[in-house]
Every structure is written in structure tokens, then in C-alpha cells.
Amino acid sequence: MKKISLLGSTGSIGVNTLDVVERNPENFQILAMSAGTNVDLFAEQIRKFKPKFAALFEEQKIPLLKEKVADLDVEIFSGEEGCVTVATIDEIDIVVSGVVGKAGLLPAMEALKAGKNLALANKETLVIAGELILKEAQKANSNIIPIDSEHSAIFQALNGERKERIKKIILTASGGPFRTYNANQMESITVKDALNHPNWKMGSKITIDSSTMMNKGLEYIEAKWLFGIETPVEIVVHAQSIIHSMIEFVDTSIIAQLGIPDMRVPIAYALTYPDRFECNLPSLDLTAMGNLTFEVPDFERFPCLQFAINAMEIGKTMPAVLNAANEIAVEAFLNELIPYKDIAELIRLVMHNHIPTKLNELQDILDADQWAREETTKLITVAH
């Protein structure tokens, strides 16, 4: 039985992971879990899955959490340090990182240092610190198994093949809710509009990222780190979200991974790898699907995609700055402090104002991240 530490249990990935565990109680045990701020749901999850260890990122809410689970035998930790603790417990076999944003970086890095296998849904970890993360994984002989549906698809298509035989990665994108919008329609997008994804049920931050196509830009960077910096990555818009990604090999053969748009499938694969277990989910009915379509992404309407590609090409601290500026801009939009179009404009300005520096250690990334957050916040304050 695999013992799991689940980071970000109250988010979309966390909830889906717990569903997979609940369907396979003979194969998996939640030994430890962490959450950010949602005390009520976290307490319910602790009561249901009975982990031995739990951590809440928001330290002020620890007394309330302890009160809610006072009758249970669970050790409670707090803050970022507590999240690191539950990611590095000796008995853990695999750590699932479903944390949103930069908050997932340190627990993931420390889990790898502790020799844990890492099932990674938090793409920001590789976006902002890919080189350092891969070094730690190699040093500890730990595996990084991607959970993102696109990277899981590539990982599966590559099974039994050598990375050196890849001609290019074809990363598919749904195009989000505004795929067919014209320039005028893009001017009046509301928070409600942006949170209405046509195919996937996700958390608010990643849903907004999908609407701007920043999510695909972050996945572009993640794919480069996971499958080879020099490997060409082509992005194609595939509105049906049935082909999750493809690999073209040097002989021009293309292998694709298809499936229903349900995150429980790649989560289950990450937990069972190199095996597969029955998921008890609906099978994909290709005849019911009809046509599968493919389009070239529109970089003018969705400039965030180009910003991410540029950040990866520039390297150094620029991907960290891209990510931090995006996190602050998306939060401001969700709080209705800025219009939708300002998300991309803020990221552009912050990247323009940044002088990239070389990454020698984790602190270089943290410094760039902090600078970008302050710079983005300052620009929002000045403009409004």
C-alpha cells in the first residue's frame, strides 16, 4: 500500500486525489495532508481520511482547526514550515503536490531532497525553479511524475521511448472560454465570464490562467524542463480537450494520448505508475465526439502565451518574474481591482522592468519573485 502526503488537499487537484484514494482504499493511504486556508473543508477531510499528520498554511486558523479535530489522533503543523514537514515524513512513499502557485515550491523541493517521489500538479515549481528542482531530483534519485493532463500525456506517450528520439512535443490547449472572441469582445470580459471554462472544472486561479492562455505558457516551460530544454514544443488549440498532448518522433510517427477531460485519470496514473489501476470512470466514446479540430493559437489576443515563451528563452530569473506578476495580476482581477485586459499588460510591464540575473541558489529565485510581486502591486496601485 502506498502512503501518500497530499499537499493542497482542499483545492481541485486535492479533492480529485482524495476521490481516487477513496475508490482504491486497498492500494492507497493518506498519511499526511496540507491545506491553505479552508479550515472547514480541511477538517472534514481529516475526519474522513484520518491522516496522522496535517498542516495548515494559514497559521492564524490553527486554533480553529485543532478545535474541529480535537477528538482525532492527528498531529497538526502550521505555516510553510509545517507544509514542508508533512512533505518529508519518513514513512511517505509519494508526495502529491496540488498546491496553487509559488507556495508549492519549497515543499516540493524539500520532498525531493528527502528522497520522495513527487507527483507534480503544481507547474509553478518547475516554471520558477526548474533547473534547481531537477538537480535535487537527480541527486536524491527521486522521480517527478507529472499530473497535468498534458504532461501526463507526454509522459505516457514516451513510455518505452528515449527522449533523444523526440522530434517535437505537440502541446494541446483547449483555447479556454474566449477562443472565438474577437478583439472587441475581449475588452468587456467579467470575472464570471473568465471562470466559465468549457471543458474542465478547476480552481479559480488556473481557470483564469486558462482563459488568458498563460496556463499553456506555464505548461510550455514545464514541458521544456521535464522533457528536454532543447526539445521543440509546438502549441496547438484543440477545443475538445480529448487529445491531451502528442509526441512526434524523428521518424515522423506521432503518438497521442486521448481520454475524457477528467483530472482523476492522470492523478491515478501518477499514483499507480508504472502500473495502471481501473478508474471506474466513463470511457471515451469517439463516435459520439464526432470531429476533433486543431487551430493555431492567436498570440495577439492571448499575449500571455508569448510572454511565457519569451521568459523561457531569456531564462535566468525571468520565468520567476513572469509567474509572480501573473499571480498578483490574476488575484487583482478576481478581486475586481483591474479589468481583464490589464492582466497581460501588467505582466508585460513587469517583465520589461526586470533585469534578469543568474540563478545560483534558491534565494535568487525568491528575491526575484518578491521583487516582481512588489512591482506588480505598485503598478496596480498607481493605475487605480
Find the CATH number of the domain harbouring 25: 3.40.50.720
Domain that holds residue 90: 2-146
Q: Which of 122, 146, 170 is at the close of a domain?
A: 146
Give me 364's grid cell: 535568487
Residue 233's SS3 state is strand
Rounded CA gap, 342 and 335, in Å?
13
Residues 126 and 220 in one domain: no
Residues 106 and 234 in one domain: no
DSSP string, 147-162: -SHHHHHHHHHTTTS-
Residues 14 and 29 in one domain: yes
Residues 23 and 120 in one domain: yes
Residues 195 and 139 in one domain: no
Residues 209 and 137 in one domain: no
pLDDT of residue 353: 98
Tens digits of residue pLDDT in 290-345: 899 999 999 999 999 999 999 999 999 999 999 999 999 999 999 999 999 999 99
Rounded CA gap, 160 and 77, in Å?
41
Stretches in the chain below the pLDDT threshold 50: none
Residues 39 and 125 in one domain: yes
pLDDT of residue 103: 87
**Long-range CB contact pairs, 17-20, < 8 A, 24+:** 17/96, 17/98, 17/267, 17/271, 18/45, 18/48, 18/49, 19/264, 20/264, 20/267, 20/268, 20/271, 20/279
Give me 370's grid cell: 518578491
pLDDT of residue 384: 67
Q: Which of 95, 122, 146 is at the close of a domain?
A: 146
Residues 159 and 136 in one domain: no
**Of 233, 220, 246, 260, residue with least CA distance to 157:** 246
Residues 6 and 31 in one domain: yes
pLDDT of residue 352: 98
Q: Which of 78, 111, 146 is at the close of a domain?
A: 146
Structure pTM?
0.94
Tell me if 281 is assigned to some domain.
no
Give the number of domains in the chain. 2
Residues 46 and 160 in one domain: no
Residues 167 and 242 in one domain: yes
Residues 215 and 341 in one domain: yes
